[in-house]
A and B are shown apart, each in its own frame.
Chain A
């Protein structure tokens, strides 16, 4: 369920974008690729996003679009020695000095980076 509502939102946003760039006649646009940036701390799974995006896209201008997902590892910051590091499971400790690190914003991203649009005319070539 976590990914279902996110996927609906993604499809709605990119379909709107395709519509806004379409011109009447043969210039209607389809979305051929969606590139997402997802921080691992958000917990959005690749398989689920792929499944729900494909399901939500059925019958829209987004149907069949490829989905690229770039995952971002959560980064911790060590207030003691200043080092930045990727978290080890079940621990927040700094690998350099052992102090307790704090979470940074890196790893909680969740946005559409870019999309690729193909016009019906292009697709026909």
Chain B
């Protein structure tokens, strides 16, 4: 007997992600799923964003890592409320993991919630985890071919933050080639070149986040 299913393979995850999103939204929490390679500068960017938001706006972070809580400790040392998910091998975060950690967190209503996904340009792009939007962080040190090699993660993100721009010359980064590829996979999404070390460009990205949120 043949049975037509036409069912998305991640429908269970997607349904739970919708529930999480509704729950967070109803509390005025705006959630950003931060994707990018290991070492792209995701944690440094989030740290700069926290500084940029200042004391008036609350920010919480969920850190996803295969192993260790190095990033969570670094964020906490800076006074940022951070929680760790250690996947122990899984290459992406999924909605059940977020549901579980949210139960242990006390996020203030109206906060920003940044979820730093596992450093990986492949699997995390396939999963919704309750976010309002995905942002992909790519560093110039990874090379200018990333949108061509990993189109999915760029296509599914609402914006790209290009980090470590101070290294563009020493690593021979071809920004025109990167931009051209990025515009093909994400024609309507903005690109924000930043240098998280100096803070250059971070404010522009935060203003954009604010405009999307409002």
A and B associate: yes
Chain A facing B: main interface SS: mixed
State A6–B27 Cα separation when bound (angstroms).
32
Residues of B76-134 at the interface with A, using a CB-CB cut-off of 8 Å, are: 89-92, 94, 122-123, 126
Is there contact, CB below 8 Å, between B1 and A118?
yes
A-B CB contacts (within 8 Å), total count = 96
Shortest Cβ distance from A1 into B: residue: B91
Shortest Cβ distance from A6 into B: residue: B9
B151 surroundings in chain A (CB, below 8 A): 41, 74, 103
- Interface range, B side: 20 to 34
Encode contact with A along B1-36: 1 for CB under 8 Å, 0 otherwise: 111111111111100000000000000000000000
Count A-side interface residues using an 8 Å CB cutoff: 38
Looking at the assembled complex, report how far the CB atom of B6 sits from the nearest CB atom of chain A, in whole angstroms. 6
Is there contact, CB below 8 Å, between B3 and A9?
no
Cross-interface CB contact of A111 among B9, B12, B89, B181, cutoff 8 Å: B9
Is the C-beta of A15 less than 8 angstroms from some C-beta in chain B? no
Could you list which residues of chain A lie within 8 angstroms of chain B, going by C-beta atoms? 1-2, 5-6, 9-10, 12-14, 17, 21, 29, 36, 41-43, 74, 76, 79, 89-92, 100-103, 108, 110-119
Cross-interface CB contact of B12 among A1, A9, A36, A41, cutoff 8 Å: A9
Shortest Cβ distance from B184 into A: residue: A92
